[in-house]
A and B are shown apart, each in its own frame.
Chain A
Amino acid sequence: EVHLVESGGGLVQPGGSLRLSCAASGFTFTTYWMSWFRQAPGKGLEWVANIKQDGSEKNYADSVKGRFTLSRDNAKNSLYLQMNSLRVEDTAVYYCVREIAARYWGQGTLVTVSS
């Protein structure tokens, strides 16, 4: 069974940093692109970033480009999202998602950016 477990969310002040992690299990991690999506409170779904199987290609939404960095450790079946220069509008539940077609989603981790 596929499991995606996010961690690392919390409360941070504007301008601060957080690092989200996603532990994957139940499938061959190196076979899939991996993505982060987010959902602001009461709002719709938004794609944030994705990364190719070997980490050689990364794509970012314009809203986070230059501030967020996506990486993966295939030896640890893990995905990471380093978030710097956080803004109030980055407040959201962040989901770790398998593959571009978004077949499987984690339970999400809440990031709150507030002073």
Chain B
Amino acid sequence: DVVMTQSPLSLPVTLGQPASISCRSSQSLVDSDGNTYLNWFHQRPGQSPRRLIYKVSNRDSGVPERFSGSGSGTDFTLKISRVEAEDVGVYYCMQPTLWPPITFGQGTRLEIK
């Protein structure tokens, strides 16, 4: 199984400041079709997860431009250019490349300082 490792697990950020979350996979997520399938999700307290980013760097519709994804192979990053209050919650990376099973990182809890 592909192990997804996120860091940090807790991320206190001041409003308006940038934030960055790392996600590393135990195997390359480059698929045989040449695509890299690595997604990012945000889950607010008491809500269902919401997908933010798919295939490393593509923002889903309605996702603010302050969110960006980057990376390749086994090393990926989610960045928020300027954190807003609504960004609090837990962020997860997920790989749907080498499945079954589909696997997630442990989650990174973002809070406002």
Which one of B21-29, B67-75, B81-89, B102-110 is at the A interface? B102-110
Residue B92 interfacial (CB < 8 Å): yes
Instruction: Give Cα A100 to B35, complex, Å.
Output: 15
Please give me the residue from chain A that is nearest to B49 by CB atom. Answer: A105
Residue A32 interfacial (CB < 8 Å): no
The answer to whether A59 touches B99, judged by C-beta atoms less than 8 angstroms apart, is yes
Chain A interface size, under 10 / 10 to 19 / 20 to 34 / 35 or more: 20 to 34
The answer to whether B51 touches A102, judged by C-beta atoms less than 8 angstroms apart, is yes
**B41 contact from A47, A60, A102, A107, Cβ within 8 A:** A102
A95, A102, A106, A107 — most chain B CB neighbours (10 Å):
A102
Residue B96 interfacial (CB < 8 Å): yes
The answer to whether B39 touches A61, judged by C-beta atoms less than 8 angstroms apart, is no
Chain B interface size, under 10 / 10 to 19 / 20 to 34 / 35 or more: 20 to 34
Please give me the residue from chain B that is nearest to A102 by CB atom. Answer: B51
Residue B100 interfacial (CB < 8 Å): yes
Instruction: Give Cα A103 to B105, complex, Å.
Output: 17
Instruction: Give Cα A46 to B94, complex, Å.
Output: 10
The answer to whether B100 touches A106, judged by C-beta atoms less than 8 angstroms apart, is no
Residue B101 interfacial (CB < 8 Å): yes
Interface residues of A (CB under 8 A from B): 35, 44-47, 50, 59-62, 95, 100-108
Interface residues of B (CB under 8 A from A): 37, 39, 41, 43, 48-51, 54, 60, 90, 92, 94, 96, 99-107
19 other A-B residue contacts (CB within 8 Å) besides A44-B105, A45-B49: A45-B41, A45-B43, A45-B92, A45-B104, A45-B107, A47-B100, A47-B101, A59-B100, A60-B100, A62-B101, A95-B49, A101-B39, A101-B51, A102-B41, A102-B51, A102-B94, A103-B54, A106-B48, A107-B48
